[in-house]
Amino acid sequence: MEAVSSVSESAYLRSFLRNPTASSGDNIYSRSLYFDFRKHPTAFSKRKISVNRNRKSLFGDGYHKLRPCVLSSTGDDFSEASMALDEGDSITSGGVAVEEDELSATKKALAELRVRQEAIEQERDRLLEDLARSEAKQKEYVSTIMRDKEVAISELEAAKALFDQKLEQSVEDRFNLESKLVLAKQDAVELAVQVEKMAEVAFQQATSHILEDAKLKVSAAESFAADAAYQIEERIRHATEDTIVSIVEQAKDVIEKALAVAEAAGDQSTKAIAAFADDMSPLDEVALLQSQNIKFQNDINNLEAKLLVSNNEIHRLQLELEHSRQQCSSFELRASDAEKALLELQEASKKAAQQQEEEVKSLLEKIKKDAAERKRAASKAFKAELDAIKAATEAAKRTARSQEEAYLKRCEALQRSLRASEAASKLWRERAELAEAYLMEQKSSSEEDEKETYVVNGGRIDLLMDEDSQKWKLLSDGPRREIPDWMSRRIQSIFPKFPPRKTNITEVDTSRFVSLELPRLDEVWSISQVKPKEGDMLVEHVIEKEVIEKKRKALERALQRKTIKWKRTPEEKKLEPGTGTGREIVFQGFNWESWRRQWYLELATKAADLSHCGITAVWLPPPTESVAPQGYMPSDLYNLNSAYGSVEELKSCIDEMHSQDLLVLGDVVLNHRCAHKQSPNGVWNIFGGKLAWGPEAIVCDDPNFQGRGNPSSGDIFHAAPNIDHSQDFVRRDIREWLNWLRNDIGFDGWRLDFVRGFAGEYVKEYIEASNPAFAIGEYWDSLAYEGGNLCYNQDAHRQRIVNWINATGGTSSAFDVTTKGILHSALHNQYWRLIDPQGKPTGVMGWWPSRAVTFLENHDTGSTQGHWPFPRDKLTQGYAYILTHPGTPVIFYDHFYDFGLREIITELIESRTRAGIHCRSPVKILHANNDGYVAQIGDTLVMKLGYLDWNPFKEVHLDGSWQKFVDKGADYQLWLRQ
């Protein structure tokens, strides 16, 4: 078989050498050999001679007839071997033997060629697959591009169609307006012609005394305006001086009180130093111990003397010697112990003395620091009050200047109206003369009418003397000013006397008064019928007057609040962003569906009712433009035209709340913000508006928006880009935005949405920069459940909320979600859940009541969302609990106005106010079991929930006289101390 294979291989080699390009069945070997020549030409260069020798040995004598075979391997090219046979040449097929080594080399070469051929085929297949994949991707890209192109073309066509439609509509509207304008001009011309005709008839009987009366009334109006302006200026000046003097006096009293407190603190420190000096009795005790020690040492010496005597006696008796030695050793041990005790006592006394000295020094330093801080605080408060006084003075001056300018403008308007009236009176005089001439001609023509007198409109000239005439009011007291009683009486006294109206027909026929019917007032054009236009001075005066009046009222309220604050107790004067005044009762003024109505306008009408019911703060919905109408997906933070109303309506609502002494809390979303544009790769992470941020303002671990900022410091809100608050420019922009909301819009505090998304230290920075009156954070976390039931121990849950409040430095309070969750189960005859093992309330209220904002329901848990609604049959018990316990309670809009609980909640607020309960009031829980819950809050209120048979007279420790204030049977009962 080897011989056959070797012969076949050698035959193939001969055929390859004869015709390398022949397409035989074994052409693959020729191609592989050809490629091998192309890649490795040097490998075949050494075989060149051997191949030629083999040819000579193979072809025998006929070899000389062959043309020379050239195998060229220069460079990277391979020239095919050409071998031409002469015609008639033949090769003898005798048994020619091929050398075995040559055959083995050929076999190896062929094997290598096969392996390389397989590798090349594999590489070719791989390249073909890559080519197919690339073609598929190219087709996919082409299809995507075409699809995007089609979408873009369709959008362009739709936009073009909409533009064409709007253009056609605008053209049509323009055509309609032009046609209306033409018609209006025609009507105006016709009306002018008719007016001219009627005016000619109307002023035929006008007399000269009318002009005199008009002049008298104008002069009276001018004098009244001057008097009124002077009286207003005097009132403003007196009021401003009185308020400034009262504020300065109050500031002086406060500074004197602060200095008195500082002096009292200094006296107390000196007394404390004297007390510490007097308490140095331990040194005397040490001296006494030292004297006792000396005495003891003397006793030891005496004993040693006695020991010497006993030693002399020991010589006599050996037994007594040993005994005396034992006694001596025991005495020595006692002496050493005494010395050690004395040394320890001395060291302890030294340490105690040093510690007392250090304590005295630290106490003195603390007292000095406190005194310095109090002085600085007093000076700072004094400076602040001075600044406030200066600001109030400047505001008063600005108000006075504005009123002076308004008065001057009113005077100018009066002068203009006077000139207009003079021109009109001139025209009237001319027409009156014409009318008089006409009447005189009639009288001369008929002798029968010599004694007749013409009467206008039945005996009255309604054109000018009608009391309802707007022209009469304009001429009498100027624009926009009501006529006072004394002026109206004076004007009535100088009315011209006209004959009475005739009602009897016979009397009219026989009377010497002849009726001359003139057109009515509403049929004649006059200045009273001209409506003010935009840009008119009168309209500007009205707007300016309203602005001045608003500023004046705001200044009065600010001065009034400053004056009232000094009259409050020290506890009520303290204002912190985490607690407010400590006596706040917050009202959530919206629900999930409020955006469907003109909410700002609707809520503003309820401000007086809320203030009357005892509410102190109102929480408004998010004010910014938002992708979602509820406001919790904000986009342009400076655009306050939202689904709840316009920015003007928002300001009007806030002003109305402030007029009722209500704080206004704005719902601000700081964790996330919706982008306005897409990035080149199609991700919505380019923000617009005034705060035009980019991807660098988004945290890098937000999986949906490819942010380039730092990792988030909290949880990720996946619906919108999460803002990176570690960026300096982000924090700077947010601080400026919050101050803009405080100063320009009028918000007093914040409700902070989804504060789990960023660290509390950033909240502290924002609160310190904006200085709100009250701030609440929404730190929402899940309670602990086991087997579907609420666990009794919820310390871990409230600890997480307390940790967040700690991170803000106590500058913000937080919603007490723990208390809400526990009340869901506790009010179903599990009142034992309302007391923890330490005897305190089980929510955040039990650990940090001043920062706990208690609530039952809000727009997320209730309303139309209903994520975690409070049991409706337990709402009254729930409000009885949170409105009588410490913390800051929140009342939901739906419960107050839609569920019919307004009267019940108002009654509970009254009980809280009467008892003086605030956010830090102490709670003493008396009973908490399956039947009910009883607690004393503060010193003057006791409340009971459930079926428990209890009243204050059954409790031994409740002293005083108690009166039942509210009795709702098994739901709840309240008692107040007399």
Q: Tell me the torsion sign for CA atoms 831, 905, 620, 391.
A: negative
Phi, psi of 626 (to 5 degrees): -140, 150
Please answer whether residues 494 and 213 qualify as being in contact, where contact means their C-beta atoms are separated by less than 8 angstroms. yes
Q: For the chain, first and last CA: distance in Å?
A: 128
Contacts of residue 666, Cβ cutoff 8 Å, sequence gap at least 6: 620, 622, 623, 741, 745, 747, 749, 750, 751
Sole residue written with tokens 């004393």: 936
Residue 102 is among the residues annotated as catalytic for this protein? no
* Rounded Cα distance, 931 and 829, in Å: 6
Other CB atoms closer than 10 Å to residue 4's CB: what's the count? Answer: 8
* Cross-strand partners of 663: 617
Task: For residue 244, give the amino acid letter.
Answer: I
Please answer whether residues 224 and 488 qualify as being in contact, where contact means their C-beta atoms are separated by less than 8 angstroms. no
Q: Active-site residue among 9, 102, 649, 753?
A: 753
Please answer whether residues 584 and 617 qualify as being in contact, where contact means their C-beta atoms are separated by less than 8 angstroms. yes
Which H or E element spans position 456?
A: strand 453-456
Half-sphere exposure of residue 950, counting CA atoms within 13 Å on the CB side? 26
Coil, strand, or helix at residue 579? coil
Please answer whether residues 944 and 934 qualify as being in contact, where contact means their C-beta atoms are separated by less than 8 angstroms. yes
Q: Active-site residue among 9, 477, 667, 778?
A: 778
Q: Which two tokens stand for residue 831?
A: 């009142």
* Rounded Cα distance, 599 and 590, in Å: 8
* Rounded Cα distance, 726 and 722, in Å: 12
| CA angle (774 as vertex; 903, 784 as ends), nearest 5 | 75
* Rounded Cα distance, 803 and 452, in Å: 101
* DSSP 8-state assignment for residue 842: S
Sole residue written with tokens 């018609």: 183
CA-wise closest residue to 110 among 26, 19, 197:
26
Q: Which two tokens stand for residue 76?
A: 């990277």
* Rounded Cα distance, 717 and 707, in Å: 13
Which H or E element spans position 514?
A: strand 513-516
* Rounded Cα distance, 798 and 885, in Å: 17
Coil, strand, or helix at residue 512? coil
CA dihedral 194, 196, 202, 203 (to 10 degrees): 180
* Rounded Cα distance, 758 and 196, in Å: 76
Q: Which two tokens stand for residue 79?
A: 């020239």
Q: Which two tokens stand for residue 463?
A: 């054109």
Contacts of residue 356, Cβ cutoff 8 Å, sequence gap at least 6: 276, 279
CA 227 to chain centroid, in Å, comes to: 50
Please answer whether residues 768 and 744 qualify as being in contact, where contact means their C-beta atoms are separated by less than 8 angstroms. no
Contacts of residue 777, Cβ cutoff 8 Å, sequence gap at least 6: 752, 755, 763, 804, 805, 808, 812, 813, 814, 815
| CA angle (272 as vertex; 255, 261 as ends), nearest 5 | 10
* Rounded Cα distance, 285 and 954, in Å: 55
Residue 753 is among the residues annotated as catalytic for this protein? yes
Q: Could you tell me whether strands 923-928 and 789-790 are parallel, antiparallel, or unpaired per DSSP bridges? A: unpaired
The residues assigned a catalytic role are 753, 778
